[in-house]
Structure formats: C-alpha cells, structure tokens
Amino acid sequence: MGISPQPSSSAALNKLIGRIKAGQSVLFLGAGVHAAPPEGSAYGYPEEQRPPLGTALSKVLAASCGFEEAFPTEPVGDLQRVSLYVETTSGLGRKALVDFLLAQLIPKRKPSPALTMLAELPFTIIVTTNYDHLLETALRSCGKDPVTFVYNPDSNEPTPDTLEDPTRERPLVFKMHGDLDTTRSIVITDEDYITFVQRMSDKDALHPVPQSIRVRMKQWPTLFIGYSLRDYNLRLLFRTLRWRIDLANFPPAFSVDQFPDPLVVRVLEQSLRFVTFIAQDLWAFVPWLYQEVLGKQPVL
C-alpha cells in the first residue's frame, strides 16, 4: 500500500518525514482533502459524506439564487463571483450566503479517510482554508485537543496568538479563510479576498496570520495537501513570509498535486525554488506518508 516517491525528491522527502516525526513541520490543508478517492482506490468516501468542493458548491449556489438569470453569460463555477452576487442582492445578503454554506458543509458530512490519517500524524501546526469543522472532528477522534484560531478581517484588532507551544496532543489550528461559526471571518467573495490580500501587508501585531505560525513557517518545512498552488493567496503568503530572507535559509516546502500547473512549477520550483511538487494523488500519498511516519498500515 502507498507509493514510491519520485527519485528526484526522495532524499528531500526523507528529511520531511524526519521533521514530521519530530513535530517540526507545518501542514497546510485545502478543500481537495475532501475529494472522492479515484476509481480502484482501497478507500471509500461516499458522496453524501463529502462536502462539495469549490466549483460544485458554486453551481449549487448559483442555481439557488438566480445568478444565471441575472448574469446569463458568466460562468456559474466562479464561487467568489457568485458569492458576491448573493451578498449584494436585496433580500439575500451575507446571512443567506452563510446559511447556504452551513446547509451544504455541515449536515451528514464526515472527515475523509485521508483527513483522518493526517489528523493522526504528529503535526503540531495545521493551517487550513476550509470553513468546515471536519479537521477538528478528525483531530478529536484521534484523542487530540486542538487550539483553534480564526482569521479576523478587522485590521484594527490585534491578532490573537497562543501562549503555549503547540504539541502533538494540542496542535495549533489556524483557519486562514474563516470558520462557519464566525460569520464575518469567512473569505469567499471577491471583496473578502481583496480584504485578505490587503491584510497580508499589516504590521506584526495586526497581521492576520498569528506570529507563532509565521515564525515556524520560516523555520520548519511546509506540506501542502488538497491545494492547487495556482491559488494566488497561498503564493502571496509564501512571498510575504520569505521577503528579504536569504534563499539558503528557506525551509523546504512540498505540494502534493497530481497535475501541477506547468507555469506554477516553472516559477515556484524551477525559478524561485520555493516548492518541491510531488505529482501524486493524495489518496496514494497520504497512506504512504502515514506508514512512513507511524510505521504501521492505515486502517481501511
């Protein structure tokens, strides 16, 4: 069960595994961790348990709010655009948008086997752009007690931070694009993303990412799972954290992406050397990582 890493990245992956075992790595989790297993996978994740991903979520939202009638020539799969329409339409607004997300992302949804495996690994800092509570559920199912911080769009409020070092039993979780329990925290519309990008240049005390996480990201390797690094917000975060730091002092970063965008690879891996791309399906990579770190087979 699992995979054999590409020869060009195996030495680097071995170092990453050692840092994960030591609790000295940062895990970035995206919505792709809820994707369906590929055909023939040993793992099952029924559709009714999976929260809909971006494009599918956007299409359902567009059909429910009259977006197609208002903008018949625009793509219904653009979640930022459709969400902005809901938020700015009389009779709908932010509450209708959040109520829709709650209805789509909460009832009957369960953590995927991949997410459960990752929750069991000794990550002490986890950053996620997912609004749902499935990560926290998975961590608690493993006997862990996460300390959670949520993005705050208000640039006048100091960013809270942990007063204790995160541990395997009490990992620090930062919900970078908000949480369903905090309406104003959710980053989903065009305007929300603009505010988020503006906040990335805030001073230390007001920076939207807690300082403890920003410090660790400059010291520890980072593993991206469930993302396409075409997401400019993640690339912006990378550039912000690495501004004016000697290239020789960059900690390594890895992105698990079966089909990475060739232009992003050209920039982030070949030119800037910020990221090593692992061209593997996460449903193969995560069980392999689980076995390498914990020394046992994941439970089917």
Three-state DSSP class for residue 29 = strand
Residue pLDDT, tens place only, 191-224: 999 898 888 888 888 888 899 998 898 889 999 9
Q: Are residues 144 and 201 in the same domain?
A: yes
Q: What is the pLDDT of residue 221?
A: 93
Residue 28 included in any domain: yes
Q: Are residues 270 and 289 in the same domain?
A: yes
Residue 45 included in any domain: no
Q: How does residue 168 score in pLDDT terms, banded at 50, 70 and 90?
A: very high
Are the C-beta atoms of residues 172 and 147 closer than 8 Å to each other?
A: yes
Q: Are residues 147 and 224 in the same domain?
A: yes
Q: Are residues 147 and 68 in the same domain?
A: no
Total tally of structural domains belonging to the chain: 2
Selected residue with higher pLDDT from 282 and 214 = 282
Residue 238 included in any domain: yes
Residue 180 included in any domain: yes
Average pLDDT over residues 163-168: 92
Residue 1 included in any domain: no
DSSP string, 46-65: -GGGSPP-HHHHHHHHHHHH
Q: What is the pLDDT of residue 275?
A: 86
| Structural domain span for residue 91 | 52-105
Q: Are residues 73 and 209 in the same domain?
A: no
Q: Are residues 94 and 211 in the same domain?
A: no
Phi-psi region for residue 138, left (φ > 0), alpha (ψ -120 to 50) or beta? alpha
Residue 2 included in any domain: no
Residue pLDDT, tens place only, 232-246: 767 776 666 665 556
Q: What is the pLDDT of residue 2?
A: 43
Q: Are residues 150 and 127 in the same domain?
A: yes
Q: What is the pLDDT of residue 5?
A: 47
Residue 165 included in any domain: yes
Q: Are residues 72 and 130 in the same domain?
A: no
| Alpha-carbon distances, residue 117 vs 5, 92, 109, 120 (angstroms) | 18, 39, 17, 5
| Alpha-carbon distances, residue 104 vs 20, 60, 98, 246 (angstroms) | 33, 9, 10, 44
Phi-psi region for residue 107, left (φ > 0), alpha (ψ -120 to 50) or beta? beta
Q: How far apart are CA 91 and CA 229, in angstroms?
A: 36
Q: How far apart are CA 91 and CA 112, in angstroms?
A: 36
Residue pLDDT, tens place only, 61-109: 999 999 999 999 999 999 999 999 999 999 999 999 999 999 999 999 9
Q: What is the pLDDT of residue 175?
A: 96
Q: What is the pLDDT of residue 143?
A: 97
Q: Are residues 71 and 31 in the same domain?
A: no
Residue 230 included in any domain: yes
Q: Are residues 80 and 133 in the same domain?
A: no
Q: Are residues 20 and 75 in the same domain?
A: no
Residue pLDDT, tens place only, 10-33: 788 889 999 999 999 999 999 999
Q: What tokens does 62 get? A: 């567009």
Q: Are residues 142 and 64 in the same domain?
A: no
Among 111, 109, 53, 36, CA closest to 281: 36
